[in-house]
Structure formats: C-alpha cells, structure tokens
Amino acid sequence: MAHGQHEVRCLRPEAIAAGAPRHDRHAPLLDVRDVHRAYRLPRERLFAPPPLVHALNGVSFEIVAGRSLGIVGESGSGKSTLARIVMALDAPTAGSVRLLGQDLHALAPEALRAARRDFQMVFQDPYGSLDPRQTISRIVAEPLQAQGQTSRAEQRERAAETLAQVGLRPGDGDKYPHEFSGGQRQRIAIARALVTRPRLIVADEPVSALDVSVQAQVLNLLQDLRERLGLSYLLISHDLAVVQHLCDEVAVLYQGRIVERGAPAALFSDAQHPYTRALVDAVPEALPAHRAAMV
C-alpha cells in the first residue's frame, strides 16, 4: 500500500491531565479538527490556472492539559504550516483550532490578542527571533506589553522573574542579544514565551539551530519547566530523540496527513507505516537506549 494511503494507526495511551482547562476540566486544552491548508503558486504559463499545493490535508489531534504532543516529519511535510495555524499566524483553508474551547480563527482581533496569553511560541532560530536593538528585558516583556494590562514596572519585574526561571541572571535584562551565546539566546526566547504564564507552548524545532553540546541543556530546561509549571507543549521536530525526551505522544506527519501516532517508545519500536519506519531507520542505531538517556 502506498505511503499516502496507509491507515493511521493510533497507539495513544490514556491521557491523564496534570491540570484542568478553565472552560471544562474534561475537554482538551487544544483541539485541532480536520485542518486543511492549500496555497496557490505562481502560474507556470500565462493562461494556465495557478497550481494548488495542499500543505495540510485533514489534520486532527488534541492535547490534554499538562501533556505534550510531538509532530515529526521531514522538511516539506507540513509541520511548520501546522505550527503557524495553531498559533493563528496563518488561517486554515478549512477546519478549526480550538484552545480552551475558543475557535482561534473565529475570534475578533482584540479577543485573539487576549487569548494569546494562554499560548505562546518558541521559534527555531535564537538569533533571528530576537530584536538586536532591544534590551533583553524589553524583549522578554514584549508579550505583556502587547496585552496592555500591566505597567512598565510590572513588565520589567515579571521579565526579571522569568529570566531567573530559565537560568539567567537578574542583570542580564539590561544587556542586548549579541552579548549572549546561542543557547542563552534560546533561553531568552523561552523566557519571552513564558512571561504571560501560558498553558500551551508551541515549539518549532527549538534546539535544531544549537550546537549539540547545548541541545541537551535546553531540552532539560524545557522538561523542568513543564514539570514545575504544568505546561503543555506542541513540539515540532524532525529529531525523534528530542520528541521522545519531551513528549507523551507523537504524531507522524507525511504529505500533510497524520499517518501514525502513539506513545514515542511504542511507536518507534513498532512502527507500522512505511514512512515512520523510514524515519526511525534514518536514526543511527534507531534511538538506542544510551542516546535517549543522553538527551
């Protein structure tokens, strides 16, 4: 059977929430239903119709509060498009994204801005995602400023507290991004995502741009923050070991569809879809125990 026609195999364990959503303690924190996204490309010939590319083809999943889901797949599988739609930075062609019961793409701009306190994003590039002209304190406090409900003094105080949570010093708030290493910059980006005290963090390849020696430190920080703050992650990654370290469940995205999902250890050791097996086989020694423990 062809990759794209293979049936989704679900190995999901029972989800036990570490915290309850405010709207309904039995409802998911994030509920993505039948999301499609199609893009028009430039015309190849003058009178030809513009080609249509389907980046997402009916993606559905949910995340219960306190638990985390990893989305894995190669470049071009639709992972980053999915992250942007969950973050309401791009709109789906069809389908819905509900956070705490609210359809994010149906909200008015002011309501969406207020809702953003509950979901924030950590981007892949710790160099390009920080404004080099702003101090670290201003960068971290930016989401609070956008909410417009706190004073400048309160923003600065919250930024200092959040920098401490990610292992940086109080005086670091007065510095600029160029004064920090790549790993420290990603800690700053994580602090910016944490400052509104969100329920969900969408992390798009959060360690792929870092040196291998620094990746484990950032992953351990993310795991520690999850345990201490009761966070949920939607983790986008091509690295199976990263997903296994941070996530309760993994969904494999192939050509815009989820083709297999389940607990990481079970799915990676007993992959049924040919694409999942290809991803696992591409990892040296297929996620050996010592590598999983290392990260």
User: What tens digit of pLDDT does each residue of 140-185 get?
Assistant: 999 999 888 788 999 999 999 999 999 999 789 999 999 999 999 9
Confidence (pLDDT) at 21:
37
Number of domains in the chain: 1
Classify residue 43: in a domain, yes or no. Answer: yes
The overall longest dimension of the chain from CA atoms, in Å, is 61
Which residue range(s) make up the domain with 255?
3-11+27-127+199-294
Q: What is the CATH number of the domain that holds 52?
A: 3.40.50.300
Q: Which helix (H) or strand (E) holds 72?
A: strand 69-72
Q: Is the pLDDT of residue 295 over 90?
A: no
Q: Once rounded to an integer, what is the mean pLDDT over residues 113-131?
A: 90
Beta-bridge partner residues of 62: 31
What is the spatial distance between Cα 224 and Cα 144, in angstroms, rounded to a whole number?
23
Average of pLDDT values for 57-85? 93
Q: Tell me the per-residue pLDDT of 74-102, one tens digit each, with 9 for 90 and over.
A: 888 899 999 999 999 999 999 999 999 99
pLDDT at 19: 37
How many alpha carbons fall within 13 Å on the CB side of residue 22? 7
pLDDT band at 24 (very low <50, low <70, confident <90, very high): low
- β-sheet bridge partners, residue 262: 11, 250
- For residue 7, pLDDT beyond 50: no
Q: Does the residue 49 lie in any domain? A: yes
pLDDT at 220 over 80: yes
For 27-41, how does the pLDDT look when each residue is reduced to its tens digit (9 = 90+)? Answer: 799 999 999 999 888
Residue 166 in any domain: the answer is: no
102 found inside a domain: yes
Report residue 84: phi and psi, to 5°.
-65, -35
The residue with greater pLDDT, 283 or 195, is 195
- Interacting residues of 27 by C-beta distance below 8 A, sequence separation 6+: 21, 101
pLDDT, mean over the chain: 86
Average pLDDT score over residue span 103-132: 92
Fill in the amino acid letter for 109.
P
Residue 45 has pLDDT above 90, yes or no: no
In a domain, 68, yes or no: yes
Task: State how far the Cα of 174 lies from the Cα of 272, in Å rounded to an integer.
Answer: 52
What mean pLDDT is predicted for residues 245-251?
Answer: 94
* 230, part of any domain: yes
Please give the average per-residue pLDDT across 3-16, as a whole number: 41
52-66, 85-99, 119-133, 192-206, range with the lowest pLDDT: 119-133
Distance CA 104, CA 115 (A): 8
Indicate the SS3 state at residue 95: strand
Q: Which of 13-22, 122-131, 198-207, 281-290 has the highest mean pLDDT?
A: 198-207
Share of the chain above pLDDT 70, in %: 87
Q: Is residue 152 part of a domain?
A: no
Q: What's the confidence (pLDDT) of residue 25? A: 59
CA of 153: how far to CAs of 140, 165, 172, in Å? 13, 19, 16
Q: Is residue 278 scored above 70 in pLDDT? A: yes
Please report whether residue 162 resides in a domain: no
Does the pLDDT at position 15 exceed 50? no
Nearest C-alpha neighbor of 230 from the set 116, 99, 67: 67
